[in-house]
Structure 1
Amino acid sequence: MLNTPVSRRTLVASASSALAVAALAGCGADTSSTTGSASPASSSASDGSAVELQIFAANSLEKAMPEVEALYTERTGVTFADTQYKGSGDLVEQMRGGAPVDILITASSGTMDDAEEADLVDAATRQDMFTNELVIVRVAGADVQISAIGDVANVEGNIAIGEPGAVPAGKYANQALASVGLYSEAEGEGGQYDPSIADKVSVADKVGTAAQYVAAGDCAVGFVYTSDVYRYEGIEVAFTCPDDSHKPIVYPGAVSASSEAPDEAAEFLDFCMTDEDALAIWAEYGFELA
């Protein structure tokens, strides 16, 4: 468990992997965007044209994924459209609306279940990719002491929590709060906050927004993932929520049912889970293999 803001870069101390990650950080193309519409998915390479993949990924992958994509482009020539990083629920809704997608990676099994039930993804390609931890963060150096989940009721200032209908981290946060009687629904959605915190909850549209609320000093604490501590400067872990306080945090990935390049999409997912340098990048940003 991570109870202090100690970097997980110790997980990737191998010299070869570290050099690869450093090189990518300097030359990786910026493929991320949190606004705007998605670019069309490309056709398969069978017609001789270059393949471009469109990925919809959970917001917490916003820093790590571009580096992995850049590595894959360097190795294979496959390129990536304007990868969309949003709340998992929002991504699924975009797919329902007909957005062209090759790969979907969500931050909860439930959200991927929704996509699978709506026939938006190829169930045969679904795999659990990463795990994460739910942590309570504070401004770096702040004198905010959290030794249990229930301590958030005593902090002076607001509590940043992702909107549970679209942001899995918000649902996990509410589950953790429910475990100590501060939220009325154990599933983490559709309930009410205890009066002791009801007026202090600041709802965020993405888990990254919740982290930014804390970093900017707008909230005293926030519920985010361990990986978010490596994405944003100015925050640190005050407390790691016990595993039994919320459902397991798992990131499933799958090829879109409407992908025009399903074989290439599946190959990229396999690369993400097996390539040594790709695994080093995920580890550097706090993700562990499922």
Structure 2
Amino acid sequence: MKKQTILILVAVLIIITACGNASNSNSNAKGSIELTISAASSMMDVLTEIKENFEKENPNMEVTFNFGGTGALRKQVEQGAPIDVFFSASKKDYDLLLEGGYIEQGEELLHNQLVAIQPKDGSVSTLQNVVNTNQKFALGTPESVPAGFYAQEALQKMGFWDELQGQMVFAKDVSHVLQLVKDKAVSAGIVYSSDLHRVNEVDIIEKIDGALHTPISYYVAVIENGNERSQEKQAAAEQFYNYAQNETSKALFEAYGFVIRDKLVEDI
């Protein structure tokens, strides 16, 4: 009788252990492949939505974003940060990574436009008005934020750059510029047109002529990680890279105010 009882207990333990292993296996399957993606902060909202769609279709994958100024993100890649996919808001930074051998495969994806903005119902009528009235003016730090670099080029060609010295507040990225304007910490600022869908608390002063600055191009790339990335993770990185360029993702980019590269070529 005792022997029979022991056998029953052993059988029960085996079943419990098997169930536990199956549960752990299912748990590990969900999000078992983790991707780290660095992206320009101007892409935060649209990429967050693309990530949600991607993870729904690929429940075994988990995407973590690192948003910031493209120049700073590029330096992180050069310093060996474990980045799988990179979205650049700057051709210059993309080219530097390409020349340095950090890019496995890449593609020009999107275009954008600069706009000068002010707080809702602000008193600024033109950029010239900002210069004349000595008001605070925000833009991204040109050395590390592409939007700031493009803004500097435009302001120089408009003859405002030197006049705005002492009035400018340099921000860490376009999201920071937007926040400064929303909070009325400055009277005006320059952001991308794609940033405007985020808020109702700002007004456009004027759209900046694209001929006044380098074309605003966005690139997507799979970052070269040598032998450190497993074949499974490599396939996942390439899958997200391709997913960001499919028709569903392109439609989302357009909904968020970006211009698809293919459509720009068609227009030309």
Q: TM-score, normalised by structure 2?
A: 0.79
Output the aligned Cα RMSD.
Answer: 2.0
1:236 matched to 2:198: no
Give the structure 1 partner of residue 220 of structure 2: 253
Q: State which of 86, 108, 112 in structure 2 corresponds to 1:104.
A: 86
Give the structure 2 partner of residue 200 of structure 1: 167
Letter of the 2:202 partner, please give it: I
Find the residue that maps to 2:178 and give its secondary structure.
helix
- State the identity as a percent: 26
Q: TM-score, normalised by structure 1?
A: 0.74
For the pair shown, the structure with the greater C-alpha radius of gyration is: 2
Deviations 1:218-256 (A, max 9, x none): 111101101111223411221110010111101011100
Structure 1 unaligned regions, length at least 5? 1-46, 184-193
Q: State which of 244, 251, 266 in structure 1 corresponds to 2:238.
A: 266
Matches within 5 A, 1:129-144: 129-144=109-124
Aligned counterparts of 1:221 and 1:153: Cα–Cα separation in 2: 11
Give the structure 1 partner of residue 137 of structure 2: 159
Deviations 1:175-206 (A, max 9, x none): 001111233xxxxxxxxxx1x31110000011
Find the residue that maps to 2:103 and give its secondary structure.
coil
Letter of the 2:114 partner, please give it: L
Query: C-alpha displacement at 1:90, in angstroms?
Result: 0.6
Q: In 2, are the aligned partners of 1:150 and 1:177 still within 8 Å (CA)? A: no
Between 254-263 and 158-167, report the one with greater CA deviation: 254-263
Give the structure 1 partner of residue 20 of structure 2: none
Find the residue that maps to 1:54 and give its secondary structure.
strand
Matches within 5 A, 1:59-74: 59-74=41-56
Query: C-alpha displacement at 1:56, in angstroms?
Result: 0.2
Aligned counterparts of 1:284 and 1:78: Cα–Cα separation in 2: 28
Query: C-alpha displacement at 1:120, in angstroms?
Result: 1.7
Give the structure 1 partner of residue 182 of structure 2: 215
Give the structure 1 partner of residue 107 of structure 2: 127
Find the residue that maps to 2:56 and give its secondary structure.
helix
Between 89-98 and 254-263, report the one with greater CA deviation: 254-263
Aligned counterparts of 1:115 and 1:151: Cα–Cα separation in 2: 40
Q: In 1, are the aligned partners of 2:147 and 2:192 still within 8 Å (CA)? A: yes
Q: Decide whether aligned partners of structure 1 residues 232 and 153 sit closer, same or farther in structure 2, where only a CA change above 3 A counts.
A: same
Number of residue pairs matched by the alignment? 228
Letter of the 1:241 partner, please give it: I
Structure 2 unaligned regions, length at least 5? 1-28, 262-268
Give the structure 1 partner of residue 76 of structure 2: 94
Deviations 1:235-290 (A, max 9, x none): 122111001011110101110001723332222222222232x2332222211211
Query: C-alpha displacement at 1:152, in angstroms?
Result: 3.6
Q: In 1, are the aligned partners of 2:111 and 2:216 still within 8 Å (CA)? A: yes
Give the structure 1 partner of residue 153 of structure 2: 175
Aligned counterparts of 1:78 and 1:152: Cα–Cα separation in 2: 51
Letter of the 1:272 partner, please give it: A
Q: Decide whether aligned partners of structure 1 residues 96 and 130 sit closer, same or farther in structure 2, where only a CA change above 3 A counts.
A: same
Between 247-256 and 267-276, report the one with greater CA deviation: 267-276
